[in-house]
A = this chain, B = another copy of it.
Amino acid sequence: MENITMETVEKDTFFMDRACDLSKKSVQKGCGPFGCVITDSDYNIIAEGHNQVTELNDPTAHAEIVTIRAACKKLGTHDLSNYRLYSSCEPCPMCLSAIYWARITDVHYSNTRTDAKNIGFDDEFIYDEIAKDLDDRKVKLKHVDSSNSLESFEIWSNMKEKILY
């Protein structure tokens, strides 16, 4: 377990302030009020980003996703196991899941999902929705049988050499 010292508290505050500065710059240019910083384990900045959903016409361009993609591109890996993520706001379920897929385990946030809800964002609503059974959600997921649906899974299972993720 990491030792929590005065120094690590100060560093965490420094990078959180930086993520919040990015969220302020983001909203000042008309983008969503969210910023993110990824550092390595020695607190060197690897990537920074802000919400670009409307700027890029990309509903997935949340601050954390933008920054994870930039960090991975820079490092040439899809695995950020040993990196730290600072987000100005508690990650939404999409971004939290992306954090799991990227294997990041050291995550910091400042504003909460309820703060986000209070200014009109759906973070809390989506958290509630995805925890439900498929038939109880607003978005109905319809199962469609396909004769070849499991074929690709079988090929994957039987591949001896493959890059896992």
Please report the C-alpha to C-alpha distance between residue A122 and residue B98 in the assembled complex, in whole angstroms. Answer: 11
Asked whether, in the complex, the Cβ of B94 is within 8 Å of the Cβ of A73, the reply is: no
Instruction: Report A's interface with B, CB cutoff 8 A.
Output: 12-13, 16-17, 19-21, 23-24, 26-28, 30, 32-35, 53-54, 57-60, 62, 65, 68-69, 72-73, 75-80, 86, 88-94, 96-105, 107-112, 115-116, 118-120, 122, 125-127, 129-131, 138-153, 155-157, 159, 162-165
Query: How would you classify the secondary structure of chain A's contact residues: helix, strand, loop or mixed?
Result: mixed
Q: A58 touches which one: B78, B93, B152 (CB < 8 A)?
A: B78
Interface centre among A69, A109, A150 (most CB of B within 10 A): A150
Q: Are A69 and B58 in contact (CB under 8 A)?
A: yes
CB neighbours (8 Å) of A69 from chain B are 58, 60
Given contacts A60-B101, A100-B129, 5 further A-B contacts (CB under 8 A): A93-B93, A107-B141, A109-B141, A109-B144, A119-B156
Asked if B126 and A33 sit within 8 Å, CB to CB, the answer is no
From B76, B88, B119, B153, A149 is in contact (CB under 8 Å) with B88
